[in-house]
Structure 1
Amino acid sequence: MNYLVQLAVLAVVCWQVLSKPECESGVFKLIPKDDCSGYYLCNWGRAIEMPDCPKGSLFSTVSHSCVPKGSIYDVCSSKLTHGTSNNKEPVTIEEKCLTGSKIIAHVDECQLFYNCSVRYQTIPRYFEQHMDECTYPKLFSTVTNQCEDFDKVTCGGRTEHKSGCDYRRNKCSAASCVPCSLRFPSCENLPDGPNVHEQKLWSPFFVHCYKGRTMLENTCPTDAEGKPQIFHPELKQCTSLDQIDKEHGGMMPDCTGKPDGFHLDETGRCNQYVACKDGKFLNYVKCADGEVYDSKLEYCRPKKEACGPCGERVNCDALTRLLRRKRKTVP
């Protein structure tokens, strides 16, 4: 019986000795345990077992200290998950950076990549250590190892985001941030060319789309008279305020309840008049230079001869009846 006990004790001692790593004489080194729960201190050729890391921590060969499990410095968890081998390829970004890699494509998102020369003191929200991102709408090319125009990049299995708000750098990281949908209006599922700004309907703002990407946010120029224009969501073009109803911020005349024919401009402009038909606005009719709208005769005349608010003639009733009779007798 004593022999068996002694044999068991000897086996335990031998296992402890054999399980310790070999240390080179004169080399000070920290060597992690196989399960990363702690480490050995190599001192003068002897491997000294140090106290285990605190609960929830593992030893990191990157920081040479105990780090929170699952953190960016934890290079051990993936080894435990996938198994270890002397010839095993680097698994984490930190490991890849330590092996000499400089630029590394992100495995899931096509606009993301890792730059080993970048080390954040404070990691930006939505980012990871060493992570960088192409400016919208560029994508990261695994061929050139840099950001390129999106139509020159093949993403393969990586997700190809079309909306600027899916790019991490464009997401809001503070309460004071202007919502991304205002800064990067979406063009997904919209045709190429000018399209409505979904967050700024019936305004001078619109977007230029190309292959589902927002290439440019633009504003409508003024019209020929120097007046603002509004982007019409249905016509998909910049439209004069005269052709936009008042409900949407325009100045289109209201012909509701008015008889068919010509009417004085609602805004008081005398060099043009309004044509109505079936209670709807048809168009504006411009007067010739030097003429104004005669509201009695319903056509343009020289200002001194015109009656109504735009003309200077007085006692117009008799003249108006005479001119109307003449117009009716014209063959």
Structure 2
Amino acid sequence: VGEGHCKIWFELPYNGKCTSRLDIPISKGGLMPSCNGKTDGIYRFDHSSALQYAMDYGDYFHIGRVCDAYYKCLGGNITVVKCENGTVFHIDSGTCKPGNSSLPNSCQLYCNPQKTNVHPFPVNVAECPYPLQFSETTGRCENFTEVTCGTRKEEKYICNYWESLFYNRHGGNCDTRNIRDCLYLPNGVHRDPRRSPSSFIRCYGNRLVEEGKCTIDSVWGTQTFIYNGTCTQRFAIPTSGADYGLLPSCSAKPDGNYQFRTRPCDAYYRCEGGRATSVKCPEHTLFDVTRRTCASNVACYRA
């Protein structure tokens, strides 16, 4: 006598009417679990809610409707509860109520009643932007240094955050645009292996927290480069320490002041006990090759 389809995408024909998948048993193609073998209590919907024929639409990661519904088991019977708009499931109270709530398996995922779209996560499931994590204390995304994850899994690499995984699911270039070195490096500033020697990354807690480029040294008037965890002008970097270093070795020299071969006039280096230190002459002075120090009113030449 007629044909059609359910108007709401999350409904299916069942028992003669369009019915929410939450009210259709899993065995019949829905999402309603069975309480067989389960103790009485309250449970999350952790069965995948993805629409397989639509590229996993609604639940790409197959985590289930973990935020906007729950079910009760009592004597083997199941009761499904759909949270009202503006509320999400809070496992600590076993009810739906306003405000964000944490999820048990991830420190950056959480339930957000204001997040109403369903791609790539189920409704009300949200993710903190990298490198933030969800705080159970404040109910917000916070700096990871202020969050105690407990048993919730921590992701330290941006490409392992779920939105990054989703948007790069077709062979995207997240790994080429980002750097995973901080997973293995100690806290501090390190040379960026992808770029020029003047570029750096800052790692903290095995996470990348800053990328940048060393500036020009205003005193020496030369580009600085990463050395020993800081941006350092080239004449203070030993030639043995980096290919861009210009500070000679003092290992075979007696103590004293010496000219730089590439910068003989307005600077020098001092050898003391085999250790080299670069020295910039004060303004309006030059290195005096006779007195072996900076002086005014002297001619500049390389000895």
TM range (shorter): 0.5 to 0.7
Partners of 2:244 and 2:183 lie apart in 1 by 26
Partner residue of 1:186?
182
Q: More helix per residue: 1 or 2?
A: 1
Aligned-residue offset at 1:112: 0.5
CA deviations 1:23-71 (Å, max 9, x no partner) are: xxxxxxx9xxxxxx984216xxxxxxxxxxxxxxxx973399999x99x
Partner residue of 1:5?
none
Partner residue of 1:108?
105
Partners of 1:87 and 1:276 lie apart in 2 by 76
Partner residue of 2:16?
41
Over 3 Å counting, the alpha-carbon distance change for 1:231 and 1:170 in structure 2 is farther
Letter in 2 for 1:110: C
Aligned-residue offset at 1:157: 2.3
- Secondary structure, aligned partner of 1:186: helix
Matched, 1:252 2:246: yes
- Secondary structure, aligned partner of 2:221: coil
Higher relative contact order (CA 8 A, sep 6+): 2
Task: Check whether the contact 1:137–1:162 (CA below 8 A) recurs between aligned residues.
Answer: yes
Partners of 1:302 and 1:143 lie apart in 2 by 63
Partners of 1:88 and 1:140 lie apart in 2 by 23
Task: Check whether the contact 1:181–1:199 (CA below 8 A) recurs between aligned residues.
Answer: no
Over 3 Å counting, the alpha-carbon distance change for 1:309 and 1:133 in structure 2 is same
Partners of 1:286 and 1:88 lie apart in 2 by 72
Partner residue of 1:168?
162
- Out of 135, 144, 164, which is 1:141 matched to? 135
Aligned-residue offset at 1:230: 1.8
Partner residue of 1:75?
31
Partner residue of 1:242?
235
Please list, as runs of the form range in 1=range in 2, the aligned pairs for 1:298-317 lying within 5 A after superposition.
299=292, 306=299, 308-309=301-302
Aligned-residue offset at 1:229: 1.8
Aligned-residue offset at 1:109: 0.6
Matched, 1:155 2:149: yes
- Secondary structure, aligned partner of 1:156: coil
Q: Which has the larger radius of gyration?
A: 1
CA deviations 1:304-326 (Å, max 9, x no partner) are: 8648458xxxxxxxxxxxxxxxx
Partner residue of 1:273?
268
RMSD of aligned Cα (Å): 4.9
Over 3 Å counting, the alpha-carbon distance change for 1:74 and 1:107 in structure 2 is farther
Partners of 2:245 and 2:117 lie apart in 1 by 54
Partners of 1:303 and 1:237 lie apart in 2 by 33
Partners of 1:199 and 1:95 lie apart in 2 by 41
CA deviations 1:9-32 (Å, max 9, x no partner) are: xxxxxxxxxxxxxxxxxxxxx9xx
- Secondary structure, aligned partner of 1:267: coil
Partners of 2:164 and 2:186 lie apart in 1 by 21
Partners of 1:305 and 1:148 lie apart in 2 by 60
The percent identity for this pair of structures is 20
Please list, as runs of the form range in 1=range in 2, the aligned pairs for 1:287-306 lying within 5 A after superposition.
287=281, 290-293=284-287, 297=290, 299=292, 306=299
Matched, 1:97 2:68: yes
* Count of matched residue positions in the alignment of Structure 1 and Structure 2: 243
Letter in 1 for 2:220: E
Partners of 2:287 and 2:45 lie apart in 1 by 82
Partners of 2:191 and 2:247 lie apart in 1 by 26
Partners of 1:305 and 1:149 lie apart in 2 by 57
Over 3 Å counting, the alpha-carbon distance change for 1:264 and 1:298 in structure 2 is farther
- Secondary structure, aligned partner of 2:131: coil
Partners of 2:192 and 2:147 lie apart in 1 by 28
> Unaligned 5+ residue runs, structure 1?
1-29, 31-36, 43-58, 311-331
Partner residue of 1:62?
21
Letter in 2 for 1:112: L
Partners of 1:300 and 1:144 lie apart in 2 by 61
Task: Check whether the contact 2:111–2:126 (CA below 8 A) recurs between aligned residues.
Answer: yes
